[in-house]
Chain A
Amino acid sequence: MIKVSETENIVHQSQVETDSHGSKFYRWFKPFSRGIGMYSWLAQRLTGLLLIMYVFIHFGIIGTMLLDTFLGFETPGLLYNSITAAMGSSLVAGMGFPEVVESMLRFSYIIDAGLIAALVYHGYNGIRVVLFDLGIGIRKQKQIFWILLILGIISYILAMYLIMIVPEIVLAGE
């Protein structure tokens, strides 16, 4: 092993954090010699963080159901109902969209659409990672990714149909 002199060593130490390719953080997003594996892993982390954040928001909003009972309101669920009603209508109300488009654009629907996208991706890529831990398909990781991505898109379209189109049909029937 080459021993560098002490003065040079000090320079090297300052270069460990920023080599000639910039800081550690920048390096994560610099596109050199990257494949599907890297990007799928990054997306897995980001969707994982999003889902954790969502779980806490979810706890908070669902928790308001219990809060009513604690505070002794006469109509249980008043707080929860008003929050969901506000989320559902206030954002795009009165912006002049046709009725169907307006109902599609409702705030809660946009959140749900994003949430389901994150969930579907995290779930399907999770299957891929579990397969690797079982020692299956490590050399076919790219093909497995594309197959699961297609399955994920199909699942996503199905979920969107169920939460966006089906309620409209039911409401129109009433």
Chain B
Amino acid sequence: MSSTKETKTLTFKIKRFNPVVDDEPYWDTYELDCDDGTTVLIAIQELIAKQDGSIAMRYNCRAGVCGSCALLVNNKYMLACETLVLQLNKKVIKLEPLPSYPVIKDLVVDMSQFYEKLLAIDPYLKRDHSKDPETEILQIPEDFHIIEEATKCILCGACHSSCVSVWTDTNYLGPGALLKAFRFTNDTRDEDRRERLKRVTSEDGVYRCHTAFNCVEACPKELNPTEAIQTLKRQSAKQTLKFWSRS
């Protein structure tokens, strides 16, 4: 069987940095033959296998589901496993780790600050389980439609990395965690709405968002965390006004 695949030699510039050894990050340049099926992840894997075994890279599912391979590819936030190198239409492909996270090595960053924020908003259903039916808790499609987009988040951390408010205030919950907060606040099965809204109204909560839309630009799944945050702002404002008019 003859292969009709088109191959091209592309240059990969990878930002290398090992904080234990190096003082400053530096660029390494590699050349690789790529065909139209080569993703950025496959290219990096081939570089590790054939040219330089010391490149560090994190990946898992290779199908755009786990969110562990988010990178800056030519200054754009992308999932390495979903990005076809030939479709980038560039001869030089620049690979950098996500900005604003501390680098562990090369393309691997320490995302614990993102996970801390995520845990702070209690990302699970809270309800009185004693009244639950024997089978699963059903939800009508109209109710699910409200939170459908927010459930598609794969926690790659690109939005948190791109957010200007996170850069200046590291305590800010960030777009990723607030998108999750929106998802659980507006879930009709959840019974903790009041407390959830109170939590995101704190100083480091929704009002730190200045609608710069960096998270929307960054999201590889094309979700809209800004809209979720703006909705949370209105909902929390309504709840606070209700509280004051009652007392």
* Chain A residues in the interface with B (C-beta under 8 A): 1-2, 4, 8, 11-16, 19-21, 24, 27-28, 30-38, 41-42, 129, 132-135, 138-139, 141
Contact = CB atoms under 8 A, between A and B. Distances in A.
Given A20-B103, A33-B76, A135 B234 contact: yes
A35 B217 contact: yes
Contacts of B39: none
Contacts, number: 103
A39 to B, nearest CB: 9
Given A12-B104, A19-B99, A129-B211, 17 more contacts: A11-B20, A13-B102, A15-B103, A19-B97, A19-B101, A20-B17, A28-B167, A36-B213, A37-B211, A37-B212, A37-B217, A41-B213, A42-B212, A132-B211, A132-B226, A139-B224, A141-B213
By DSSP majority rule, is chain A's interface helix, strand, loop, or mixed? Answer: helix
A38 B99 CA distance: 16
Contacts of A11: 19-20
B110 A32 contact: no
A16 B113 CA distance: 11
Nearest to A134: B234
A1 B112 contact: yes
Contact of B102 (A1, A2, A16): A16
Interface residues of B, number: 41
B128 to A, nearest CB: 30
B233 to A, nearest CB: 7
Contact of B19 (A15, A33, A129): A15
B8 interface: no
Interface string B174-216: 0000000000000000000000000000000000001111101
Contact of B25 (A20, A28, A34, A36): A20
B59 to A, nearest CB: 16
B115 A1 contact: yes
Nearest to B25: A20
B109 to A, nearest CB: 8
Nearest to A20: B25
Contacts of B164: 28, 38, 41
B110 A12 contact: yes
A34 B112 contact: no
B172 to A, nearest CB: 14
